[in-house]
Amino acid sequence: MTTTPPPNTPLWETGRWTPLPPVAEPLAADVCVVGLGGSGLTAVHELLDRGARVIGIDAGIVAGGAAGRNGGLALAGLAPFYHRAVEALGHDRALAFYRATMEEQARMRSATPEHVRVTDSLRIAVDAEEGEDCIAQFEAMQADGLPVELYDGGEGRGLLFPGDMSFNPLARCRSLARQALERGAQLFEGSAATDIAGETVVANGHPIRCGAAVVAVDGRLDLVLPELAGRVRTARLQMLGTEPATDAVFPRPMYLRDGYEYVQQLENGAFALGGFRDMFEADEWTHDATPTNEIQELLESFLRDCVRTKARITHRWAASVGYVEGTLPVMEEVRSGVWAIGGYCGTGNLVGALAGRAAAAAALGQSCELLGLFRGE
């Protein structure tokens, strides 16, 4: 008998997570991390590596936001393709960021090998203009010795990126949370931060005394820290998932149309795909994370016409993510002792981890190459 999941449940959810307790008394730590998604949990581990006492809190559950509801792609680089990042940041800084994301891929494989697959990835051009842009990207990457190949295959023409990865984002975050608990961190769910300052974070009416705070929130960061509302906008990204397919094989995750559409096939044959935010852009600038019929219909057409599978759709879901103007996400001290990270423009699985590491060092007043990289130093 097939069980229908609750509405707006991601394909990654198994229902086997044991909930963490809420904050129920005054607490103290060196640093309080607000948000237990991928970037927040990376910050927790970086803080532990640096010898800090850490408390992490989340208003919902571990990876309950975009960290556990995204497409599960760990693609090297920043949100803009490499040649565009070079134009925006300068050659040396863009190259350093690209190499840093490749190093983060290696850390992911080491920390949670059971949840990560090295699949390579594809960027497929949908028209001549995008094809020309692929060539520009290829030439820039090849000149700097970065892994890239021209591609012409069943999916279409474009670029292949050796070493890129796909993974189960929800399972990986929960694995990181368990590892952090074993290392001595205190983590709490169902604990919304109602007041955030460098010396005290209040959750569920209880103070958490700390030397600094790291706010690791992507979607709705503009609500958590209103002073960022003019720089960070929250958007809705929508996805769907299928039962295991027997009529289509996609060995590599794939980007199309400048990354607006993306798809990966899981080891069991199921597909997870998303996109088409720009088709209803005005409606998708929202804090509402509920799927809509209009975009879900486009995703279903993409599944049938491009992926070409008749596999039954089992999951439809959405997530809130943060967008910023420009090339880099927010990674800065927005209040005295309060470091904010977010606004990854839909590509936070690696860049968010880098921001988490940089913010952890900054919160402790320690040095870090990534911190200088974000600052442009």
Position 2 scores a pLDDT of 61
CA-angle at 111, arms to 354 and 340, nearest 5°: 25
Position 11 scores a pLDDT of 97
Distance CA 359, CA 78 (A): 18
Position 295 scores a pLDDT of 98
Distance CA 41, CA 180 (A): 8
Q: pLDDT tens digits, residue range 231-243? A: 999 999 999 999 9
Q: Would you write out the chain's pLDDT as a tens digit for each of its 377 residues? A: 467 899 999 999 998 999 999 999 999 999 999 999 999 999 999 999 999 999 999 999 999 999 999 999 999 999 999 999 999 999 999 999 999 999 999 999 999 999 999 999 999 999 999 999 999 999 999 999 999 999 999 999 999 999 999 999 999 999 999 999 999 999 999 999 999 999 999 999 999 999 999 999 999 999 999 999 999 999 999 999 999 999 999 999 999 999 999 999 999 999 999 999 999 999 999 999 999 999 999 999 999 999 999 999 999 999 999 999 999 999 999 999 999 999 999 999 999 999 999 999 999 999 999 999 999 98
Read off the amino acid at residue 197.
A
Nearest to 352, CA basis, from 377, 376, 324: 324
Q: pLDDT tens digits, residue range 56-77? A: 999 999 999 999 999 999 999 9
Domain covering 233-324 in this structure, CATH number: 3.30.9.10
Nearest to 213, CA basis, from 360, 26, 328, 24: 360
Position 220 scores a pLDDT of 97
All structural domains of the chain with their residue ranges: 27-69+169-231+326-375, 121-162, 233-324
Per-residue tokens: 227: 């002073």
Give the long-range contacts of residues 7-10, CB within 8 A, separation 24 or more: 7/316, 8/289, 8/290, 8/291, 8/316, 8/317, 8/318, 9/315, 9/317, 10/68, 10/69, 10/170, 10/239, 10/241, 10/315, 10/317, 10/319
Distance CA 63, CA 41 (A): 9
Cβ-contact 233, 222 below 8 angstroms = yes
Distance CA 62, CA 57 (A): 9
Q: Quick one: 312 exposed, middle or buried, by C-beta within 10 A (0-12, 13-18, 19+)?
A: exposed
Position 3 scores a pLDDT of 73
Q: pLDDT tens digits, residue range 276-296? A: 999 999 999 999 999 999 999
Out of 3.90.960.10, 3.50.50.60, 3.30.390.30, 3.40.309.10, the CATH code matching 27-69+169-231+326-375 is: 3.50.50.60
Read off the amino acid at residue 330.
V
- State pTM to two decimals: 0.97
